[in-house]
Amino acid sequence: MVAAGGPFAALRHRDFRVLLFGTMALQIGSWVQTIGMGWLVLQDLGGNATSLGIVALLRGASMVLVSPVGGYLGSRFERRRQLMAYQWTAATIAALLAVLITTGRIELWMVFVTAVAAGMVEALAAPIRMLLVYDSVGDEDLTNAVALNALGGNAMRVIGPAIGGTLIGVVGTQGTFQLQAVFLVLAGLLTALLRPSLPDRTASAGMFRSIGGGLRYVIRDRRMLVIVFMGLLPSIVVYPYVTFLPVFARDVLGSDGLGYGFLAAAVGVGSLVGGIFVAVTSNRARLGPGMMWSCLLYCLSVGVFSLMGQLWLAVGVLAVAGVFHSVYSALNSSLMQLKAEPEFRGQVMSLQTMMWGLTPFTALIMGRMIDHWGAPPVVFWWMALASGITLLTLVASKEMRRV
């Protein structure tokens, strides 16, 4: 029996255990695919940093446009069946890409189209996955559940890129998409084991009125506004650098697909450490200060990474960045759910998905700048900007020092 309040308290809940294993299957498939997509565009199809940015932009634009719908549907209709349908659809998209690559018919425009479709599916599924975490554990164990969920995902982030890099070298790029489809099917089977969730039938507003009400709630609640802003800042200024890890691997560090896999896995290694820390300390009263300081240290660490010229030094610095990123993201996600009014929780979760979708918009700008000035100086100055804004917010916001 797992003790309440302990580092693994959320594992007391049967549905959370099932959801955790499903998330791990989803994450390993996602990271294998991320490695494959980057190498497919950059190496196999002769693209550049701008091409990578466009792929990410199309996926992100779909997420921004569709995620409010996902939050609304997740609040109003049974969540388990919706999530299963979205996972089967995502598996079909991955299998289609694998077939196109294997038969030699893949072209860049096809990658663009599938990026739009994958973004739409993720926009519908992501708010539901977050709501199911809350459904399975409630308020008491939510921070611990978020930390363990992130811990499982980050463990797969270590394994996934290494597998992806190996598959590219041994099987070819198509192998990454084939494996992603397998893990998506597994995630769907695990989701079927969850108990049916009870949708919120109390709200009678239509979809657009419900979405608008959620936005007005965040704007008028100063505390929630700062929490959402601190979720938004890394999404638009920091996270875009991940899109260009293939550029760092090939052009800055003189490595190949395997080196790219090591860079991507390094963040996951550090995130494991950060996730353990959050799980162990999840019963503390205030989460805001830890979120702010870990965000600042994350920005600074990525800035240091941009100055590295040797692969293993870069891997080490990214591992440190992963520690701070894991702490920051777990605390930010917990605060979004814990501090949101229950009737607006679905809309707030859809806002979080929208923020993830905004990353590619600024990634396109970063990609154009990298094509002109190179990856190291561009990423460094973006991280300097993010660090400055985070520090100013930390100093100015009393709300974050109190929650």
Percentage of the chain modeled with pLDDT above 70: 89
State pTM to two decimals.
Answer: 0.72
The tokens describing 120, both together, are: 């739409």
The tokens for 359 are 């990353």
For residue 179, give Cα distances in angstroms to 91, 111, 160, 200, 336.
10, 18, 10, 36, 33
Domains (ranges, CATH) in the chain?
9-402 (1.20.1250.20)
Q: Please state which of the ranges 46-50, 315-319, 343-347 shows the lowest mean pLDDT.
A: 343-347
**pLDDT given for residue 208 in this prediction:** 61
Q: Among all chains, which residue has been given the structure tokens 């040797």?
A: 310
pLDDT single digits (tens) 168-192: 878 888 888 888 889 888 888 888 8
Separation CA 21–CA 152 (nearest Å) = 8
For the chain, state the CA radius of gyration.
20
Q: Are the C-beta atoms of residues 178 and 32 closer than 8 Å to each other?
A: no
